[in-house]
Structure 1
Amino acid sequence: MVRARSLIRSAASDDRVTRVELFFDLVFVFALSQLSHHLLEHLSWVGAGETFVLLLAVYKVWVYTTWSATLLDTSRLEVQWMLLTVMLVTLFMNASISSAFGAFGWLFAVSYLLVQLGRGAWMLSVGLDRTTHNHFVRTLIWGCMSMPFWIAGVLFGTELRLMSWGVAAAIDLGGHMLAHRLPGRKTEGSRVPLPGERIFERFGLFYLIALGETILSTGLAIAGNLEDPLIFLTGTISLAGSVAIWWCYFHGLEQDILEKLASVDDQFRPGILAGNTLLALLAGLILVAVGDQLVITDPAAHSNLPTVLLLFGGPALFLAGRGLFIRQVLGTRRPSDLVGIGALVVLAGLSFLFPVFLAAFAAVLPLIGVAVSDSVNRRRRRQQGAY
C-alpha cells in the first residue's frame, strides 16, 4: 500500500508540466490531422457525424489520461510507463481513424476501450483517497455502460455503426458532463482533487498543439498549390485566422481564467467546464482546418453550403465556447463574442455571392475584431487598476 500511495503527487511536487506529458500529447497531433482528413474526404452531414463521434473518443482518451497524470507523480517510472503504454495503444487507435467506419472499426473500438477501461482500472491501484477512488469507480461503470454499443458498432455496417457508436459517444459525453453521477450515490465533486490551474494549463498546451496542426495542414495545402497566383493571399488569410484564434484564447481568456482559479477553493466545476469547452474549441479548429484546405485548393470556386459552414461555423463555435466558459467561470459577459458571432452569421449569408477566397477573408474579420476588442479592454482595465 505504501508503494501505491507513493504514486500520488505530493503537495511539495513541482507543478510544472513535465516533458513526458508533453511527449504524450504529440500523438494527438496525428489524431487531429486524421480527423480533419476524414471530414475532408467525407464532406456531408454523415461525415460530420462520424468525425464528431471519433473526435469525442480521441478527446476522452486525452482528457482522462491527462487528469490521471495530473493526480500522479510523473517522475515515477510506473506513471511514465502508464503514459507511454496509453500513447502506444492510442497511436493505433488514431491510425485507424480514416477506416474506423470501414474495415478497421474493430481496431478503433478495441483500442479505445482498452485505454479507457484499462487505465481506469489501473488508477484504482495507485492509492487514491476515498472520494477520488469512488469517482474513478463511477467512470468505470459509465465506461461499461457504453462498451456494448462500441462493440456492437463493430458488427454493423457504416450507417448502423454510426448509430451505435453515436449512442456510445452520447453515454460517454453524458457521463463526463454529469461528473459520472449514479442513482443512489452521493457525488462529492468539490472534494475531488482537480488542480484547476494545472489542468487548465494542460488544456492550453493541448490547444496550442491543435493550432499547430491547423498551421501544419495549411502549410501542406500551400506547398501543394504554389503555382496558384492567389496562394499568397489565401495562405495569409488562413494564417491570420489561426493567429486571431490564438490571440483570443491565450491573450483574451487564459490569463483571466488562471487569476480566477487562483482565488477559488472548489476547482472541480471550472475544470469540468474547461473540459467541455475544450471539446467545442477543438471541433471548431477541425472545421477551420478543413475550410482553409478547401479555399487554398480552389480559391476561385463559388461558395457553396459546405464550404460556408466550415469557414464560418468553425470561428462561431470557437467564440460560442469561449463566451460560455467566460460567463460560467468568470461570471461576466463579453459583448465582443456575441457581436463576433452575429457578424459571422451576416457575413456567411453574404458570402454565397462571392468566391471562396473572399468568403475566407470575411470569416477572419470578426475574429480579428474580437482579438482587438480583447486587447483594448485588457489595456483599459490595467489603466484603471493603476489609478
Structure 2
Amino acid sequence: MSRVSAESPQEETEYRVSTLELFFDLVFVFTITQLTQKLADDMSPTGFGQVLLMLFVILWMYFGYVWLTNAVPPNTTLRRVLLMCGMGGFLIIALAIPSGFAAAGPAFGIGYLIVNLVHSGLFISAGGPGSAAAMARLAPFNLGSAVLVLAGGFLPPVWRAAAWFAAVVLIVMSPYVNRRHGEFRIRPVHFVERHGLVVIIALGESIIAMGIGAAGLPLNFQLVVAALLGLTLAYQLWWCHFGRDQDVRAEHSLAAMTQVERSRAALSAFGWAHVPILLGIIVVCVGIKKTIGHATEHLYLSGALALGGGAAVFLAGQVFFRHRMGIGTVRWRVIAGVVALATVPIGLWLAIAQVAALVLVFGALLAVEGRLRA
C-alpha cells in the first residue's frame, strides 16, 4: 500500500481557502508593508541585505503555515485558537521589522520562536500519519533556526546578521538533509490558491506604495500619469503570474504528480521560486514609491535599480516557477528580465520614463507570449 501511495497520483479531499486563513493573511499584509518601508528608508546594500534576511526567514515560516492549513484545516476551536497564536507571533515580527537590526531584535526573535512552536506543535499533532511524521523530522531544523534568530536578536548588528544568515543556511539545508519531506501530502487546489493569494497581497503593496508616495503632493497631471503607469505595471506583474490560467495549469500539473513529486515541486516551485517573485514585487514597490514623488526628476541609482532590478528578480522567479511546473515557455521571460535591468540608465535620466519603459517591456512580453500560445 505504501509503495502504491508513493508512486501514483494522490486523490486528496480538496477544499478552498477559508475565511480564517484570509484573516490570518492580514498580518502578512502588514509584514509586507513594513518590509517595503524598511527598504525604502535604507536602500544601501546593508539595508537591502537586512531586508533580504528578514524576508527569507519570515517567508519560510509563512509558507510553513500554508503547508499546515493545507494538511490541517482550521475547522476546530483549538486549531483556530492556535492559528491566532501564530498570527500573534507574526504580528510581533512585523512590528519589530523597522528596528529588527536595532532595539527590536529580541522581539523579532521571540515572535519567530512563537510562530515556530505553534506551527510544529499543530502540524505534528494533527497533520495525519505521513505529514506529521515528516514534520517531526523537520521540526528540529525549524527550532534550530528559531533559536539562531532569537539568539541573534540579543547580539550586536554584525553578529546578529551572522546568526540570522546561519539560520537561513539551516533553513535551506533542512529539506535536503531531511529526505522525508516527500511524505507531506499536498492538496493542489488549496495549495495553489493560497500561494496565489500571497502574491496578490504583495501586489496590493504596490497600490499602498503609490498612496504613500503621493501623500501630501498636489494632484496634478504628472502625478496622475505616474500613478496610472505604476498601476499598469502592477497589473502586468499580476498578468505574468495569473494570466492565461497559469494558476489553473499549476493545479493540474500538481494533481498529475505522485505524492513524492508533488512535495518536491511544492518545495521548489512554491517555496524557492516564490522568494524572488515576492522579493521582486517588494523591490518594484519601493521603486514606484520613489517615482511617484519625483516623476519628472531623475532617480538615484538605488531607485532606478529598484525598478529595473526588482522587475528582473520577479521575472527570474517566474522563469524558475514555470520551468519547474512545466506550464509555459521561459525564453521570452529571460529576455524581458535582461531588458528590464537595462532600463536602469533611463531612470537615472527621468523617473517616469523608466516606469513607462518597463510598461512597454512587460507589454511586449505578454503580447509575444499571447501570440505564441494562440
Q: Is the 8 A contact 2:298 2:347 kept in 1?
A: no
Counterparts in 2 of 1:58-207, with a 5 A limit?
A: 58-126=58-126, 128-129=128-129, 131-175=130-174, 179=175, 181-182=177-178, 187-207=179-199
Structure 1 residue 362 displacement after superposition: 1.6
Cα distance in 2 for partners of 1:16, 1:153 equals 38
Match of 2:207 in 1: 215
Report how far residue 133 of structure 1 moved: 2.4
For residue 248 of structure 1, the aligned residue among 237, 240, 248 is: 240
Whether the 8 Å contact between 2:112 and 2:150 is mirrored in structure 1 is no
Measured in 2, the distance between the counterparts of 1:302 and 1:26 equals 35
- Are the aligned partners of 2:308 and 2:342 in contact in 1 as well (CA < 8 Å)? no
The answer (yes or no) to whether the contact 1:225–1:297 under 8 Å persists in 2 is yes
Q: 1:227 offset after TM fit, Å?
A: 4.4
Checking the alignment, whether the CA contact within 8 Å between 2:113 and 2:147 is kept in structure 1 is no
Q: Distance in 2 between matches of 1:115 and 1:370?
A: 40
Of the structure 1 ranges 50-59 and 139-148, higher mean CA displacement relative to structure 2 is found in 139-148
- Quick one: distance in 2 between partners of 1:189 and 1:267? 10
In structure 2, the residue matched to 1:257 is 250
Contact 1:139 1:180 in 2 (8 A): no
Q: Under a length normalisation based on structure 1, what TM-score does the superposition of the two structures give?
A: 0.87
Residue 340 of structure 1: aligned partner: 336
The structural deviation recorded for 1:337 is 0.3
**Unaligned segments of structure 1, at least 5 residues:** 1-10, 381-387
Aligned pair 1:307/2:299, yes or no? no
Equivalences for residues 285-296 of structure 1 within 5 A? 285-296=281-292
Aligned to 2:44: 44
Matches within 5 A, 1:9-24: 15-24=15-24
1:368–1:331 distance in 2 versus 1, CA, 3 Å: closer
Q: Tell me how far apart the structure 2 counterparts of residues 293 and 230 of structure 1 sit (CA, whole Å).
A: 14
Residue 155 of structure 1 aligns to a residue whose secondary structure is: coil
Specify every segment of 5 or more residues in structure 2 that has no aligned partner in the other structure, as ranges. 1-10
Q: Supply the AA of the counterpart residue of 2:318.
A: R
CA distance, structure 1, for counterparts of residue 95 and residue 54 of structure 2: 12
Structure 2 letter corresponding to 1:31: T
Q: CA deviation at 1:287?
A: 0.4
Mapped partners of 2:171, 2:183: distance in 1: 22
SS at match of 1:193: coil
Q: CA deviation at 1:318?
A: 1.1
Partner Cα distance (2:331, 2:49) in 1: 31
Aligned residue identity for 1:377: L
Identity within the alignment, %? 24
Q: Distance in 1 between matches of 2:250 and 2:221?
A: 43
What's the CA shift for 1:127? 5.9
- The corresponding residue for 2:372 is 377
2:281, 2:310 within 8 Å by CA — same for their partners in 1? yes
* Per-residue deviation, residues 183-207 of structure 1 (Å, max 9, x unmatched): xxxx244432122332111100111
Do the aligned residues in 2 keep the contact of 1:89 with 1:115 (CA within 8 Å)?
Answer: yes
**Residue deviations 1:220-271 (CA, integer Å, cap 9, x gap):** 3224323454101111111111000011111143233223223223311221
State which drifts further: 33-42 or 190-199. Answer: 190-199
Alignment RMSD = 2.1
Deviation at 1:14, TM superposition (A): 5.2
2:153 partner SS: helix
Corresponding residue number in structure 2 for 1:366: 361
What is residue 384 of structure 1 aligned with on the other side?
none
- From the superposition, tell whether residues 269 and 351 of structure 1 become closer, same or farther in structure 2 (CA, over 3 Å): same
Q: Does the Cα contact within 8 Å between 1:270 and 1:329 map onto a contact in 2? A: yes
Number of residue pairs matched by the alignment: 360
Identify which of 293, 305, 320 aligns with 1:324: 320
CA distance in 2, matches of 1:374, 1:116: 41
